[in-house]
Every structure is written in structure tokens, then in C-alpha cells.
Amino acid sequence: MTERLKRESLSTEQQNVRSMDIDTRSILEILQIINDEDKRIPQAVNKVLPQVAETVELTVTSIKSGGSVFYVGAGTSGRLGVLDAAECPPTFSAPPNMFRGIIAGGDMALKQSVEGAEDHPEDVVRDLKSAGLKAEDVLIGIASSSTTPYVIRALEYGRSIGTKTVFLICNPEPLIPVNVDVLISVDVGQEIITGSTRMKSGTATKMILNMISTATMIRLGKVYGNLMVDLMAINEKLVDRGTRIISKMTSLSYDEANDLLFKANREVKTAIVMHHQQCDYDTAKSLLKENNGFLRPLIETYEKN
């Protein structure tokens, strides 16, 4: 059986009976078909939550041990990995190397298609070595079809050096068997436009990557309740959000909270500790370090006193 015929067996490569006449529909009907198909995605993602949880256990353990999380993909999958990694530093004050995105074809592939980049598996070993992948890290390979040579080779290389590996695909099972620690196979069914995995597969991938990074950050103490208390107020919008968070958690007025934020070098979590523990910036930083970055114990201690 040829590789082409093997690909034809993939769910994402088969025709969707609900959109076979989409080219004859009105604009509103086209949009309704797309929306109806998108409604199926959360249900598919729900079925793989146990595997996503396993992945988060790996990422948290890795980061606590000084490791990093690498997203590796090509095309849409690679762009989504880079996007999720890029959003972690401003949202959670995460170091830029905590979550890292690697895409076949390099930075140029973020803006335009780099034809054939995914078909050069030898490149990914070079890319991972250059990025400093090590045994303490977690490598999450993203490939909707499960057949991308660049991603499969990344997983093989990661496993060969002792890195924990996760394979995220959007088909019921991988077409090419790959030995990994966790397989997340979210079955999104047939795409609205046959084979266009930037659509339902892309949406499912974005949801799962958001879950992995967000749950990881929560388990690392970067969220209090549902507030992003570890954000770095680097622009006007985030200064405003940080000020409102401080005000909410301290009962200070907006102006008082804003002043405190700047005394804390725009670090929301540090500002909150300074208020609750009635201490200076350096002391607040030390207290957070002693509590592994978790804010709740410091607030509860204050409240008990």
C-alpha cells in the first residue's frame, strides 16, 4: 500500500458528509455548517482529558526540575505551538525558556508556508540540539495527521536522549506507530473542507495547548483563584489589570493599588505580598521564594494573624 493510500484512511483526510454541498450554500449557511462542526470539538477534547492531565503532570515535574517544555510542529500545528509558548511570559511572568515553540522551516514559516520543510526530519535534530533539548525537558510533538516526518523524528530523538515525549494528533490513532510517554489522540472527525486541518484540528489543538500551559502555570502557583496574579504589567492594559487585581485582593483604592504596583516593580504578586505581610519589596520576594511562588499560604497566614 502506498503512502498516499495510507493517508486516505485518516479521518481528517476523508470527506465530511455534512459539508459535501457547502459550495452551493449561501454565506450564512456556510457559516452555520462551520459553526455546527466546531461545536463537536469540545466533546472530542473532553474524551482525552485524562491524557492531557498526564501531560501536565510531566510538564510540572519537568519545570520543577529545571526543565522546559518544547512544542514541535509544522505548518498550523507548529504555529499554534509557537503562539502558546509566546503567550506564557506576559500572562504568567514565565521565563521565556519555560515553554518553547519550534516550527519546521524556522521563523519564516510563522508568516508564510515553507514548502517541504516538514519533510526534512534531519533538520529537527539540528533544531533541537541548537535549542538545547535535554533529558529533563518534555517534548510535545504536534501533528494533526500523525504522519509529519519532522515531528516524528523529533519524538524519536527526544526519547533517545531521555526526554519525556507526548504526541498530540487529531485522528483516532497514529498512522505511523511512535513510542511516546503519552499519546493524545483527539478524534475531531472529518474536516469541513477535506484535509484542511487548520480548521477543526487547529481548533482542537489550540484548546489542548491552552489547557496544558494554563494548568501547568496554575500548578506552579502562578494563579490565585482565577486571577493571573503573576502577570508582569508591561503595558497600559496589563498595568490596569494588575492594579484592579491588587485592589480586589487588598481592598485598596485603585490609585493606592496602582502606587503599590509600581513600588513592586510592576509585579502583581509581589505587591500583594507587600500589602498583606506589611513588608518591603525584597522581603516579599524572599517570602514568595520560601513558599515556592505560591501566594495563598502568605495570604492565609496574614488573615490568621
Q: How big is the CA angle at 64 (ends 59 and 65), to the nearest 5 degrees?
A: 100
Q: Is 28 exposed, middle or buried (0-12, 13-18, 19+ CB in 10 A)?
A: exposed
Give 227's strand partners: 224
DSSP 137-193: SEEEEE-TTS--HHHHHHHHHHHHTT-EEEEEESSSS-SS----SEEEE----S-SS
> What is the number of other CB atoms lying within 10 angstroms of the CB of residue 114?
18
Report helix, strand or coil for 114. Answer: coil
H or E segment at 69?
strand 69-73
**Alpha carbons 3 and 8: distance in angstroms, whole number:** 9
- Cβ-proximal residues to 269 (8 Å cutoff; 6+ apart), any chain: 93, 224, 229, 230, 288, 293, 295
- Identify the active-site residue in 13, 37, 118, 267: 118
- Identify the active-site residue in 54, 57, 87, 156: 87
Please confirm, yes or no, whether 87 is among the known catalytic residues.
Answer: yes
**Alpha carbons 273 and 264: distance in angstroms, whole number:** 10
> What is the number of other CB atoms lying within 10 angstroms of the CB of residue 208?
24
The x, y and z cell numbers of residue 126, run together, are: 539540528
The x, y and z cell numbers of residue 28, run together, are: 450564512
Catalytic residues: 87, 118
